[in-house]
Amino acid sequence: MEQEQEYLTFLIGGEEFGVDILCVQEIRVWSSVTELPNKPDYLKGVINLRGVIIPIIDLRQRFGKEPLEYDHQTVTIILSDHNETRPMVVGIVVDAVSEVYKFSQSSISNPPEFGSQIDRCFLKGLASIDDKLIILLDTQTLLDQDELYSVNDHVKAKDNSLTENVETTI
């Protein structure tokens, strides 16, 4: 029998995304965060999760979409890599959680080569269920610090703030 994997799906801007459910540690409602200084917009800040400090990423903004006002549906999915001995834990903010689906490896097709706002490295594949198309995300890269906080953004954020500063002072 072909091995099936379960995926937790969630909504961002009407699109449905899925992550490997084994990487989902828990789902929390949105709670206020402590901001980190001089960080890109998508990094909302850090929270205290039972004594561990974890960063919170707004996936919407990370994927280059317009930010959305947080409401009672907004949830934080805490991801952690279950394979590692000292897993990295990160929280992602999504519009809402949706369902849990089972997909077999063969029903997942490769992502299209272009035409996506999302960094290709995060995409694992596409799966369709009942006319819906679900974008599966690669948790490995999502949990990879270098990929998640790619250097380009830092430089951009810094440059912006710097020019702004100069402009305002002028």
Partner 1 sequence: MSVDLSQFIPSFLEESFEGLELMESSLLNLEQGDDETINSIFRAAHSIKGGAGTFGFEHVTEFTHLVETLLDEMRDGRREITQNDVELLLKSVDCMRLLIEAIRDEQECDRTEIDETAKLLTIALNQTASVDVDNNETGSGTTNQQVTQNTLWDITFIPEHHLVQTGNDPLLLFNALADLGPITVEANCKDLPPITDIDPTELYISWHLTLDSAASEEDIREVFEWVEDECQLIISQPVKDQQDSQQPEEIVIDKQGGDFTSVSSASDSSEQVLASAVADNASSTLESTTTTKSQKQPSKTKADVGSIRVGVDKVDSLINLVGELVITQSMLSELGNDFDLSKIERLTSGLEQLLQNTKELQESVMRIRMLPISFAFNRFPRLVHDLSNKMNKEIELVLKGEQTELDKTVMEQIGDPLTHLVRNAVDHGIETAEQRLASGKPAKGVITLDAYHQGGSIVIEISDDGSGINRQAVFDKAVEKGVVDKNTVLNDNQVFDLIFEPGFSTAKEISDISGRGVGMDVVKKNIQSLGGRIQVESEPGKGSTFKVNLPLTLAILDGQLVRVGSETYIIPLITIVESLQAKPEHINRVSGDMLLYRLREDNVPIIPVCKLFNIDAEHQRVEDALLVVVESDGQKVGLMVDDLLAQQQVVIKSLQDNYQQVEGISGATILGDGSVAMILDIPGMITMAMNNASQSQQKYGDIAKNLEGVMS
- Smallest gap from Cβ 7 to partner 1, in A, equals 23
Rule CB under 8 A: which of 119-148 touch partner 1?
A: 145
Distance CA 141, CA 146 (A): 9
Q: Which is nearer to partner 1, 37 or 115 (CB)?
A: 37
The single residue listed with the structure tokens 């809402």 is: 96
**CB-wise, 56 or 135, nearer to partner 1?**
56
**Residue 116 in the binding site for partner 1 (CB under 8 A):** no
> How are the residues of the chain apportioned to helix, strand and coil, as percentages rounded to the nearest 5?
25, 40, 35
Type of residue found at 85: T
Question: What would the DSSP string read from start to end of 11-73?
Answer: EETTEEEEEEGGGEEEEEE----BPPTT--TTEEEEEEETTEEEEEEEHHHHTTPPP----TT
Shortest Cβ distance from residue 24 to partner 1 (Å)? 16
Q: Can you tell me whether residue 81 is helix, strand or coil?
A: coil
Q: How far is the CB of 67 from partner 1 (least distance, A)?
A: 17
Q: Which stretch binds partner 1 (CB under 8 A): 22-30, 46-54, 103-111, 133-141?
A: 46-54
The single residue among 66, 115, 130, 170 that binds partner 1, judged by CB under 8 A, is 170
Please give the residue ranges that form the binding site for partner 1 (CB under 8 A): 32-39, 45-48, 51-55, 86, 88-90, 145, 149, 161-162, 165-166, 169-170
